[in-house]
Amino acid sequence: MACPVPIASRRNFTGLWRKQVLDDMGQTAREKLKSAIQRIERLEEEKKALMADLKEVYDEAKAFGLDTKILRQVIRIRKMDVHERTEQEAILALYLDAIGEV
């Protein structure tokens, strides 16, 4: 079924179509939209701060002489389910054995 709103109007989201959408959107829906956007923005700011903190910790570890690539690998492994990790290690060993690397 074709959309009654011309493509150009949908892309620009201007004019009568925009007014119609805003008129149809109730006050509660607008408030929920605004609230969701504000929460996402706040979380993005928190994420940015956390990423800066993580970078600082990795920089400190590197300055101490630790290999940050290996640290990241250890963190990734520790997050894994024990069974998933065991399965991955077994498959890795199988592949290495198959190409004569073990």
The reported pTM is: 0.61
Predicted confidence (pLDDT) at residue 8 exceeds the cutoff of 60: no
Q: Which residues constitute the domain of residue 39?
A: 1-50
What's the confidence (pLDDT) of residue 25?
79
**Amino acid, res. 72:** R
- The verdict on residue 14 lying in a domain is yes
How many domains, the chain? 1
Tens digit of each residue's pLDDT (9 = 90 or more) over 40-91: 999 999 999 999 999 999 999 999 999 999 999 999 999 999 999 999 999 9
- The verdict on residue 68 lying in a domain is no
- Cβ 11 vs Cβ 4: under 8 Å: no
- The verdict on residue 11 lying in a domain is yes
What's the confidence (pLDDT) of residue 99?
96
How far, CA to CA in Å, does 76 sit from each of 43, 73, 81, 88, 102? 23, 5, 10, 13, 24
- The verdict on residue 75 lying in a domain is no
- The verdict on residue 97 lying in a domain is no
Confidence of residue 4 (pLDDT cuts 50, 70, 90): low
- The verdict on residue 72 lying in a domain is no
- The verdict on residue 2 lying in a domain is yes
